[in-house]
Structure 1
């Protein structure tokens, strides 16, 4: 691991970046604030000017991750048009892309044990990300009769859980979980089965 070095005047962000590298390598509980300070090129005492402890540092990394995640999901939704189905499928692919490109953020967000309600800013960022998928689900299911239509929050939660499972088991190189199919194929077919069950896409011929 390369020592980052603090030379650019933004100590707070340097510490967050250092924590993200450490989280990716050692996990959210595998490093100390002293290690984050060393990685950023500052003394351990400097950390406490910005964060009360490691959990506060991880929470801020998670907040930044949710902001990136929400932006990526929104972009996928907007550019996945013109159909509601295409937009919905694009958000699923965006989930996998985010987990691959931002593993430190992903771990801080979903595997650190930090509650999304730890701070108002973290809660707001998390809610913004969920809202994109809920809107995509609502758009896609609007033609289902109301008495048979699942709530958009439930619909999106199912897809979020499916996406998260594919990432955890097959997109993060977990030992012993090799699949003959790519994560993209697994997610696409899983979503297809779910949507067919709702009658939103026709059965395979």
Structure 2
């Protein structure tokens, strides 16, 4: 008798959906394809009809995550227009919102050790997401003197690193357990200090 799982309308997506909570619980490296198959209601052999192995499954999850992330960042950027500062701050908040709402995707994207260059589709979606923050950074930098203006890519990389640090240290697991401040406040004040150091924002009175 065939297992009920074989009748999934979209077994490939069902396996992805089954793997996401496993990633959240056990990390991208801590779950097995057999566990994902069991959660999806199919035999382990059925997984290999759609994925060559766990890394192939993680690539697909990360690709979907980057697509969602890029869409969210683009929406945040447009929502903040026409103010360059508002758009930039909005993309920062979107980073935290994505990490909270899609933790399994976030972990597959940033904690699985996947090489972006090994998969063109994955690299393309990741580049689309980073391009939004870089565009927001370029908007903020355009009024700075050329000789004092850092490259937009470097600027956005600094903010990405700050955002990622806040997520990893203060927005995962038990938020607030390691800091008396909300992650949003930590990121906002950190960005404010960074922008004041560049002279984009005036010093505090």
Which band: TM-score by shorter chain?
over 0.9
Cα drift, residue 175 of structure 1? 9.4
Q: Which residue of 2 aligns with 1:92?
A: 92
Q: Which segments of 5 or more consecutive residues in structure 1 lack a partner in the other structure?
A: none
Cα distance between partner residues in 1 of 2:18 and 2:204: 48
Q: Which residue of 1 aligns with 2:105?
A: 105
Q: Which segments of 5 or more consecutive residues in structure 2 lack a partner in the other structure?
A: none
TM-score normalised by length of structure 2: 0.95
Cα distance between partner residues in 2 of 1:63 and 1:178: 31
Q: Which residue of 2 aligns with 1:181?
A: 181
User: Are 2:147 and 1:147 aligned?
Assistant: yes
TM-score normalised by length of structure 1: 0.95
Q: Tell me the C-alpha RMSD between the 2 structures.
A: 1.6
SS of match in other structure, 1:117: helix
Aligned length: 202
Q: Which residue of 2 aligns with 1:135?
A: 135
Alpha carbons of structure 1 residues 85 and 43: separation in structure 2 relative to 1, 3 Å: same
Residue pairs, 1:54-73, within 5 angstroms: 54-73=54-73
User: Are 2:190 and 1:190 aligned?
Assistant: yes
Cα drift, residue 178 of structure 1? 1.3
The answer to whether the 8 Å contact 1:59/1:118 transfers is: no
The answer to whether the 8 Å contact 2:170/2:176 transfers is: no
SS of match in other structure, 2:118: coil
Cα distance between partner residues in 1 of 2:25 and 2:67: 22
Cα distance between partner residues in 2 of 1:76 and 1:7: 39
Alpha carbons of structure 1 residues 135 and 176: separation in structure 2 relative to 1, 3 Å: closer
Cα drift, residue 174 of structure 1? 6.1
Q: Which residue of 2 aligns with 1:171?
A: 171
Range with bigger deviation, 85-94 or 34-43 = 34-43
